[in-house]
Structure formats: structure tokens, C-alpha cells
């Protein structure tokens, strides 16, 4: 009787399921899937703002990409920036979260302080840091007053500028890592840590044996998000260095896509770069998720 009732209800349940799912699916199709398909189609053409008439060139744009030294430099810059933006905020964020995982108004205030950069616009952050890091900015002026006669060209030295920009992006991300890792730490049952303490485990052993494994889901999320954000870095590069100093020394994938597709008007070629960027981000995210999920433990 129960089975026959469920069988009769199934079509109605399926219908209601569809009605609830359709709006979200429609939005996804219109604002995500359709533009992706249009962009991919554009990447197979020689579409250009400054040229009348567009024709299919199939995979010629993709072939050009990987023999273009400027694009390869951009890829290299993006990998370096992403490595810094993944490792530094996560390591610092976890350390700070461990230190702030205490009760008290001081620790609450410190959490707010660390989170402030996260809520600021990345453009605002970039403008402020550009003022501080320029050759006669407050940082170099302070260094000169301390006797440093030739302070670093944070944004003017081609060998340093990429690390300066990466540092700013990483700095802004630390607060978010702190908050997420704090939430993860506070979800770990205190009894486990107390039991370990009673059994004679010191802080390092407790962290390695209990905290670190149970934090795995938080680490997975933060690593993947940091990876995606690293690959998408645009604002800070545009404001602080405009891809320079010189030719492409701080150009990132996202910057290159905008510059090629919009500033230069080479829509088809820019779309090919965007497609490659999408595939790289999707591929690396999926692989990272797979690897990191393996170390997650359930209580």
C-alpha cells in the first residue's frame, strides 16, 4: 500500500521538484552557461572591434596562444602569484586563527581588525598600497630616514614588482582565512583536545594529531578558493602596475584577457585566452579538491 502510494505521488513530486529547480537552472543557463558557449564560439573566430566582418578560424587562436611568448610569460606570472596567494594567507591565517581561538574581548577585537581588509574593495586597497609603495612613498621615505640610501623599487623594479603585487593580494586574503579557520577550530570538539591533554600530548602533538586532520574540510575550501582567486587577479595589477613595469612583468591571465579582448579589441583572441583560463582554473580546482578530500576525516 505504501509503495503504491509512493508511486502515485512520484509524478507530482517530480513536477514540484522541477518547478522549484527551474528558476535557478534558468538563471544559471542564461547568465553562466550561455555566455560560456558564446565566448567559446567567439574564440573560434577572428572577431575584432576594429575590423568589419568576422569569420571562423577554428583553433588558430589557440595555436597562436601557446607560441606567444607574452602569453607564456603571463602564465608564468599567474602561477607565481597564485602560489604566493595560496600558501601565504593560508599559512598565516591558520597561525593567527590558532592564536585567536580564545575567549575575551581583545581576541574578538583582533578578529575584526584582521577582517577589515577583506571587506575593502580590492581597487581601494590597491590605490592605498600604490601610494605607500611608490618610489617616494611612505615605506621608502621611512627606509631612507633609517639610513637606507637606495630602497627597493617595489613597483618600479621588474624583478620585484610581481612579488609586491602578490604580497598585497595575499595580505588582503589573510583575514578571510583567519575567519574560516577560526570557524573550523571552533567546530572541533574540545573533549578530544582535553582527552589528549590528559594523555600527555603537548600542543604540537595535539595540533598534528587532532586539530590538523579535523581542519581538513576548512583547508580544502580555503585552498581551492585561494587558487581560484589567484588565477582571477586583475584589479590590483591594473591599478598598481598596469601589467608593468615594462612589458608584461606583472601581467596576469585575467589582466591579459581584458587587455586583449577589450582594450585591444581582439575579441576572438581574447576569448581564446579566457577559455584557456577557464580550463586551467577548472582543472586545477577539480584535481586539488580530489587530492585534498582524501585527507578529510569524519568523527
Footprint of another protein (CB under 8 A): 12, 15, 19, 22, 26, 48-52, 130-131, 133-137, 153-156, 158, 238-248, 259-260, 262-266, 269
What backbone phi and psi angles, to 5 degrees, belong to 147? 100, 5
C-alpha cell of residue 28: 544559471
Question: Which residue lies nearer to another protein by CB, 184 or 248?
Answer: 248
Find out whether 213 and 295 touch, Cβ atoms under 8 Å: yes
Question: Which residue lies nearer to another protein by CB, 16 or 212?
Answer: 16
- Shortest distance (Å) from residue 267 CB to another protein: 9
- Shortest distance (Å) from residue 204 CB to another protein: 44
Of the candidates 51, 67, 93, 45, the residue with the CA atom closest to the CA atom of residue 223: 93
Please state, in angstroms and rounded to a whole number, the distance separating the CA atoms of residues 276 and 62.
8
Burial label for 159, CB within 10 Å (0-12, 13-18, 19+), is exposed
Q: Label residue 265 left, alpha or beta by phi (over 0 means left) and psi (-120 to 50 means alpha).
A: left
Question: Which residue lies nearer to another protein by CB, 176 or 269?
Answer: 269
Question: Which residue lies nearer to another protein by CB, 194 or 263?
Answer: 263
Please state, in angstroms and rounded to a whole number, the distance separating the CA atoms of residues 171 and 276.
28
Please state, in angstroms and rounded to a whole number, the distance separating the CA atoms of residues 235 and 125.
10
Beta-bridged to residue 45, according to DSSP, are: 56
Question: Which residue lies nearer to another protein by CB, 12 or 290?
Answer: 12
Question: Which residue lies nearer to another protein by CB, 153 or 217?
Answer: 153
- Shortest distance (Å) from residue 133 CB to another protein: 8
- Shortest distance (Å) from residue 43 CB to another protein: 14
Question: Which residue lies nearer to another protein by CB, 158 or 209?
Answer: 158
User: What CA dihedral angle connects 249, 39, 231 and 218, to 10 degrees?
Assistant: 170
- Shortest distance (Å) from residue 15 CB to another protein: 6
Treating both helix axes as pointing N-terminal to C-terminal, what angle do 161-186 and 105-119 enclose, rounded to 10 degrees?
Answer: 140
Please state, in angstroms and rounded to a whole number, the distance separating the CA atoms of residues 48 and 36.
18
- Shortest distance (Å) from residue 143 CB to another protein: 13
Please state, in angstroms and rounded to a whole number, the distance separating the CA atoms of residues 102 and 212.
18
Other CB atoms within 10 A of residue 19 CB: 9
- Shortest distance (Å) from residue 168 CB to another protein: 12
DSSP of 76-102, one letter per residue? HHHHHHHHHHHHHHHHHHHHHHHHH-S
Question: Which residue lies nearer to another protein by CB, 218 or 241?
Answer: 241
- Shortest distance (Å) from residue 127 CB to another protein: 8
Amino acid at each position: 500500500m505504501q509503495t503504491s502510494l509512493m508511486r502515485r505521488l512520484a509524478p507530482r513530486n517530480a513536477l514540484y521538484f522541477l518547478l522549484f529547480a527551474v528558476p535557478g537552472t534558468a538563471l544559471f543557463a542564461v547568465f553562466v552557461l550561455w555566455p560560456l558557449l558564446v565566448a567559446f564560439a567567439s574564440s573560434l573566430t577572428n572577431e575584432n572591434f576594429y575590423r568589419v566582418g568576422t569569420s571562423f578560424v577554428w583553433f588558430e587562436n589557440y595555436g597562436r596562444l601557446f607560441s606567444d611568448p607574452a602569453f607564456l610569460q603571463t602564465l608564468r606570472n599567474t602561477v607565481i602569484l597564485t602560489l604566493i596567494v595560496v600558501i601565504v594567507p593560508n599559512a598565516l591565517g591558520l597561525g593567527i586563527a590558532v592564536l585567536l581561538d580564545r575567549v575575551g574581548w581583545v581576541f574578538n577585537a583582533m578578529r575584526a581588525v584582521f577582517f577589515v581588509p577583506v571587506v575593502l574593495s580590492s581597487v581601494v586597497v590597491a590605490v592605498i598600497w600604490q601610494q605607500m609603495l611608490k618610489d617616494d612613498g611612505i615605506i621608502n621615505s621611512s627606509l631612507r630616514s633609517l639610513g637606507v640610501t637606495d630602497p627597493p623599487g617595489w613597483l618600479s623594479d621588474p624583478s620585484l614588482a610581481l612579488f609586491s603585487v602578490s604580497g598585497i593580494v595575499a595580505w588582503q586574503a589573510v583575514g578571510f582565512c583567519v575567519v574560516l579557520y577560526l570557524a573550523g577550530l571552533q567546530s572541533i570538539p574540545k573533549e578530544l583536545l582535553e582527552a589528549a591533554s590528559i594523555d600527555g600530548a603537548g600542543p604540537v602533538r595535539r595540533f598534528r594529531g587532532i586539530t590538523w586532520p579535523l581542519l581538513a574540510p576548512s583547508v580544502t575550501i580555503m585552498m581551492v578558493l585561494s587558487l581560484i582567486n589567484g588565477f582571477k587577479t586583475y584589479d590590483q595589477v591594473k591599478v598598481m602596475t598596469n601589467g608593468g613595469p615594462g612589458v608584461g612583468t606583472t601581467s596576469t591571465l585575467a589582466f591579459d584577457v581584458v587587455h586583449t579582448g577589450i582594450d585591444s579589441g581582439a575579441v576572438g583572441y581574447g576569448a581564446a585566452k579566457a577559455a584557456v583560463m577557464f580550463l586551467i582554473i577548472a582543472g586545477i580546482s577539480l584535481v586539488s579538491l580530489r587530492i585534498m578530500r582524501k585527507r578529510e576525516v569524519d568523527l
